[in-house]
Structure 1
Amino acid sequence: AALAPLKDVHLGLAPPCRGGARLALLSGHYLYYHYGCDGLDDRGWGCGYRTLQTLCSWPEGQSTGVPGLDAMQAALEDMGDKPPGFRGSQSWIGCVEASLCLAHFGGPQGHLCHVPRGAGLQGELERLYSHFTSGGGPVMVGGDADAQSKALLGVCLGPGTKAYVLILDPHYWGTPKHPSELQAARRVGWQEVSTAFDPNSFYNLCLTRPNS
C-alpha cells in the first residue's frame, strides 16, 4: 500500500560539531521517498528514482507533481535517453537522468557537477556550503564504485579539518511513522565526509535550485 511520505525528516538532529563550525542546511521543505513507499517493491534498483522523487518534492514539501517510477522511465525513453523497453525495467538511474527528468517534469533546476575518481567530496565542500547558504535544495549524489544514490541536505565544516554532510538515504524498507524512526535507523543523519564516500569511485552531483 502507498504511504504518505514524511516531511523534513532531518529536523531534531543535533549538529555534529560545535565551536567555530560553519553549518549550512537546505532551504525549503522536502518529502522522504524510499523503497516501497508507493507500494512498488523496488529494493535493489530504485534508489535513484526515490532520491529524484525527493528532489521533485522540493521546495514546497508536497507530493503534487512528483512523478512515479513508471512516468520517469517513460519520460527518459520518450526523450531518447534510454532505448525502447526501458519502461517497466529494473534499470538504475543516476544524476544525469535525474537532471533530465527535473527539466522534463518542470521541477526544480538540476545543476550537474562531476567529481573525479579518487577525489571524494572533500574538494566540493565549499561549493556545497555556498549552495545551501544561498537557498539551494537537496543534492543528489551517485557514483560508479559507490552506486548507491543518496541526497545531501547540509554540510558542517570545522573546526579544524573535520567535515560532515547530512545524508538522506532512500534505502529504507518499512512504514516509518515518525522521523525519529529514520534517524534511529541511520537513514538520515550526519556522516563524516572522509568515511562516507568511496575514494575509488567517481561521483556526480545534481544540485537543485528554485525553478525561476
Structure 2
Amino acid sequence: MSDLLINVHESVDISGDCYFVNGNYEYYHYLCDGFDDRGWGCGYRTLQTICSWMKRNYQEDQKVPSIREIQEILVQLEDKPKSFGGSRQWIGSFEVCLVIDKLYDVPCKIIHVNKGDELQSVIDSLVSHFVHFGSPVMMGGDVDCSSKGIMGVNVCGSDASLLVVDPHYVGKEQTREFLHNKGWVKWQSLKDFLSSSFYNLCLPQVRAKSLQK
C-alpha cells in the first residue's frame, strides 16, 4: 500500500458554496517515490494523483503508472517519438487525456481558456463536473506552465476560487495542515491566475462510486 497522504484537500477553510472531488486519492508530488523529477514532472505527478483516484474509485486492478510507464504509453500511442522515453520533457492536459483513455477507457473533456482573466467562464462547467462526476481535474497553461490538480470550486457571490493541489512540493510526507500552511494545497482566487497565460483543463468523464446508480 502507498504511504502517500490521502485527500490532502480535506480540512481547508470553507465559505460560500463549495464543490469538491468525490472519493479518495493520493497526493503525488516531486520525488514522492524517490524519482527526481524536479523542474519538469508536475504534469506526470498530477496524472498519477488522478490515476490513484481511478484505482480507488473506478478500476481497482489498474496500478498507478510510473513516470517512465506514462512516457512509454505516449510513445505506443504515437503521440511522442521513441526519444521521449526516459526524457525530461513535460506533459500537459492533452497527454493526460490520452493516458487516461488508454488505461481506463475513460474519455476526458478538454476545456480551453484563452487567457487567465477568462477563467470565470468555466466555473459553471467545473461546478457541474464535481456535482455529476466528482473526479479530479488537471490544469495546465503555457506561460503559467506548471500543472496542478483542481480538487474543488468555491463560489462566493461574484468571486470564485479553485482548490489547487500543487505537485511541486519536495520533501518527506507531512500533515495536511503543513501542506495548507505552506500553500501547497490552497484556494486560489481566479484573479491570481496569470492573465497572460492560456489554460487547458482535463476533466475525466467518469463518476465516483458514490455517485453511481
Q: How far 1:110 moved relative to its partner?
A: 2.3
Once residues 170 and 107 of structure 1 are traced to their aligned partners in structure 2, the CA distance between those partners, rounded to angstroms, is 25
Once residues 188 and 125 of structure 1 are traced to their aligned partners in structure 2, the CA distance between those partners, rounded to angstroms, is 19
> Are 1:142 and 2:140 an aligned pair?
yes
Aligned residue among 92, 96, 102 for 1:98 = 96
Gaps of 5+ in 2: none
- Aligned to 2:163, the other structure's residue is in SS state strand
Once residues 61 and 44 of structure 2 are traced to their aligned partners in structure 1, the CA distance between those partners, rounded to angstroms, is 14
Equivalent residue, structure 2, for 1:188: 185
* Conserved 8 A contact 2:117-2:190: no
Aligned residue among 80, 83, 107 for 1:82 = 80
Once residues 64 and 34 of structure 1 are traced to their aligned partners in structure 2, the CA distance between those partners, rounded to angstroms, is 20
Equivalent residue, structure 1, for 2:160: 163
Q: CA offsets, 1:90-141, max 9 Å, x none?
A: 0000000000001111175422111113544111011111111113211100
Residues 118 and 210 from structure 1, CA distance in 2 versus in 1: closer, same or farther, beyond 3 angstroms? Answer: closer
Equivalent residue, structure 2, for 1:6: 5
Equivalent residue, structure 1, for 2:41: 46
Equivalent residue, structure 2, for 1:31: 26
Aligned residue among 148, 159, 169 for 1:172 = 169
Gaps of 5+ in 1: none
More helix by share: 2
- Number of aligned pairs? 204
TM-score (norm 1): 0.90
Once residues 9 and 64 of structure 1 are traced to their aligned partners in structure 2, the CA distance between those partners, rounded to angstroms, is 22
* Higher alpha-carbon deviation: 21-30 or 139-148: 21-30
Once residues 92 and 118 of structure 1 are traced to their aligned partners in structure 2, the CA distance between those partners, rounded to angstroms, is 21
- Aligned to 1:58, the other structure's residue is in SS state helix
Partner AA of 1:135 in structure 2: F
Once residues 28 and 50 of structure 2 are traced to their aligned partners in structure 1, the CA distance between those partners, rounded to angstroms, is 9
Equivalent residue, structure 2, for 1:209: 205
* Conserved 8 A contact 2:149-2:164: yes
- Aligned to 2:19, the other structure's residue is in SS state strand
Residues 98 and 187 from structure 1, CA distance in 2 versus in 1: closer, same or farther, beyond 3 angstroms? Answer: same
Once residues 191 and 118 of structure 1 are traced to their aligned partners in structure 2, the CA distance between those partners, rounded to angstroms, is 12
* Conserved 8 A contact 1:120-1:198: no
Q: What is the RMSD computed on CA atoms of the aligned residues? A: 1.9
Q: How far 1:22 moved relative to its partner?
A: 2.0
Once residues 62 and 182 of structure 2 are traced to their aligned partners in structure 1, the CA distance between those partners, rounded to angstroms, is 28
* Conserved 8 A contact 2:29-2:170: yes
Partner AA of 1:40 in structure 2: F
